[in-house]
Structure 1
Amino acid sequence: MLHMAPGLLSVTVPLLLLASANQEPVPVIGLVNRSVEMSTRLHLPLPVEETVWKFTSDNTVFKVAEIGNTSLLTYGDKFKDRIRGFNNGTTIIIRNLSLRDAGKYCAEITLTSKEILRFSFNLIVYANQEPVPVIGLVNRSVEMSTRLHLPLPVEETVWKFTSDNTVFKVAEIGNTSLLTYGDKFKDRIRGFNNGTTIIIRNLSLRDAGKYCAEITLTSKEILRFSFNLIVYEPVPSPAIRSEWKGSTAKLCNVTLHCSVPSHTSDVSYTWKYRQQDSEYQLYNTGSIIQISLPPDHQDMEFLCIVQNPADQKNISVHIEQSCMETNNAGASMTQKKK
């Protein structure tokens, strides 16, 4: 079963689970800067002489520690002063976890009969000090998911929402139940995998804030994961205004201004160009560009892309070859929205 105490996550592995010769690694969850316990909790027919722990990362195996009745020998600097062993090494605690500690661990237990038993664990380390950023778009749906591989089934998940330093209970989700609270999220939430994943539909700007998933396992232990939902409005349709600077026999000079309504914020501008039916290529960034084209390059299309983290719109303008002959307010230019 999974045990959780302040600063410590631990996994107890039932003997029957480990009895298979083709045992799959037992998933273990750790949190950055916390401690994690990996333990076989075996009732062995003979005493343990020593346990050797090995760590696999990027298909490379490293010896981590050799632990006997009164001895503990660690290898390398990676786990130095961070490992404690118990029960002749059949249980270890790794302190001050980092993301680099994630990987496969194998305990090779040598009995006094010299028989060796091997048991493996897959440690997944999450950096959950900061809420995971999630981007949403007004009137669309957004998914928030812990995407956990838990060693025990989930009994239920309680989702909470924090806005203006006030915490609201959003929903309680079990195997076959979904209970929402208040009118704010009524008929807008769907739960999956006992609530470890939710989808919120018909987003509004008021839905932005911090969400916390409190996952209760069948062992009654609780894991907490948080998300920071940022909701953006759709990008309005942009417009291009062309400003002609006068042309010569060798150059057609024009300044292109791309814009959206003035109240729009958090948008960026990117310009691309192509000639005839070729692929678009990056030209520049910013809302304004200046162009000087010789006669043999005046059949050009310029595309303005306006975007925020959740949406984008674009519009293009085509400079005809006749721009040299129409030195006026842009009669030779046609716009097409996409």
Structure 2
Amino acid sequence: MKWEIHALRGGLGYWLGEFRHGKLQHPDPTGRFGQRLDVVNGTTLRIKDLELDDGGIYNTRIWFTKTQFQEQRFILTVYEPVPTPQIQHQVESKTPGGCNVTLRCYTPGREELKVSWETWDPHRALGKSVNQYQVSNNGRELRVFSWNSSFNSKFTCLVSNPVDQKRASFDLLSICQSHEGEQYILSFIIQRR
């Protein structure tokens, strides 16, 4: 059985090694994978202590005879833990009848993350565009129109990937009843699910 990897981000293939006579033989035990490779039950390749760059297309070729073989392909994706989001806000305008605010959900990191917004009481997701709210196409900005104290004041930014999620929450009461037109970076409440 022979194993090789092709990185998802491009680049050349890398021969991981072959499993023969009950032992994994690979070309460079001190290389990229070092001692992190192991074969379990004679057929399963195990990579210990996964790293982000370990993601890729793993190919294996299993030889039954000198001329008969079977190939299998596996795709491995490695995700970073989701970074803790922060919410920045800007008061666009304030009148006695309402407050127009833009909230921005910021996350450091290099991977694509899904960003959505929710309100509290009742806890519900916000759509792309409604009369009182508008969510940007990338989900990172939420515009709140004519908010007043009769509406729900708490908003939560949810950032997720397929394996992790984190939240930051903000209450409009803290800015819509304070100094008009100032820009703030808020302190946030982090909640994990």
| Structure 1 and Structure 2 fold alike (TM over 0.5) | yes
Letter in 2 for 1:306: V
8 Å contact from structure 1 (residues 244, 330) kept in 2 = yes
2:102 maps to 1:249: no
8 Å contact from structure 1 (residues 249, 324) kept in 2 = no
Q: 1:274 to 1:190 in 2, by over 3 A?
A: farther
Q: CA deviation digits over 1:276-296, x for unaligned, max 9?
A: xx3332344521111132321
Letter in 2 for 1:179: L
2:152 maps to 1:271: no
8 Å contact from structure 1 (residues 235, 313) kept in 2 = yes
Q: In structure 1, what is the equivalent of residue 4 of structure 2? A: 160
8 Å contact from structure 1 (residues 319, 334) kept in 2 = no
Could you tell me how far 1:336 is from its partner in structure 2? 0.6
Equivalent in 273, 280, 283 of residue 124 of structure 2: 280
Q: 1:160 to 1:334 in 2, by over 3 A?
A: closer
2:139 maps to 1:302: no
For residues 41 and 179 of structure 2, what CA distance do their matches in structure 1 show?
65
Q: In structure 2, what is the equivalent of residue 316 of structure 1? A: 169
8 Å contact from structure 1 (residues 268, 308) kept in 2 = yes
Greater relative contact order: 1 or 2 (C-alpha under 8 angstroms, separation 6 or more)? Answer: 2
Residue-pair matches, total: 173
8 Å contact from structure 1 (residues 252, 295) kept in 2 = no
Could you tell me how far 1:316 is from its partner in structure 2? 1.6
Local SS of the residue matching 1:237: coil
Could you tell me how far 1:274 is from its partner in structure 2? 1.7
Q: CA deviation digits over 1:52-89, x for unaligned, max 9?
A: xxxxxxxxxxxxxxxxxxxxxxxxxxxxxxxxxxxxxx
Could you tell me how far 1:239 is from its partner in structure 2? 1.2
Equivalent in 172, 177, 180 of residue 325 of structure 1: 177
For residues 215 and 323 of structure 1, what CA distance do their matches in structure 2 show?
64
Q: CA deviation digits over 1:174-209, x for unaligned, max 9?
A: 7xx4414123323323434432x3332222243233
Equivalent in 16, 33, 41 of residue 185 of structure 1: 33
Unpaired stretches in structure 1, ≥5 consecutive residues: 1-156
Equivalent in 87, 98, 102 of residue 240 of structure 1: 87
Normalization by structure 1: what TM-score?
0.43
Unpaired stretches in structure 2, ≥5 consecutive residues: 129-134
8 Å contact from structure 1 (residues 273, 280) kept in 2 = yes
Q: 1:324 to 1:205 in 2, by over 3 A?
A: closer
Q: In structure 2, what is the equivalent of residue 102 of structure 1? A: none
Whichever of the two has the greater Rg, that structure is 1
Local SS of the residue matching 1:206: helix
Local SS of the residue matching 2:34: coil
Letter in 2 for 1:273: T
For residues 233 and 295 of structure 1, what CA distance do their matches in structure 2 show?
39
Could you tell me how far 1:258 is from its partner in structure 2? 1.0
8 Å contact from structure 1 (residues 246, 327) kept in 2 = no
Q: 1:241 to 1:162 in 2, by over 3 A?
A: closer
Q: 1:239 to 1:297 in 2, by over 3 A?
A: same
8 Å contact from structure 2 (residues 24, 38) kept in 1 = no
For residues 270 and 178 of structure 1, what CA distance do their matches in structure 2 show?
48
Q: CA deviation digits over 1:99-147, x for unaligned, max 9?
A: xxxxxxxxxxxxxxxxxxxxxxxxxxxxxxxxxxxxxxxxxxxxxxxxx
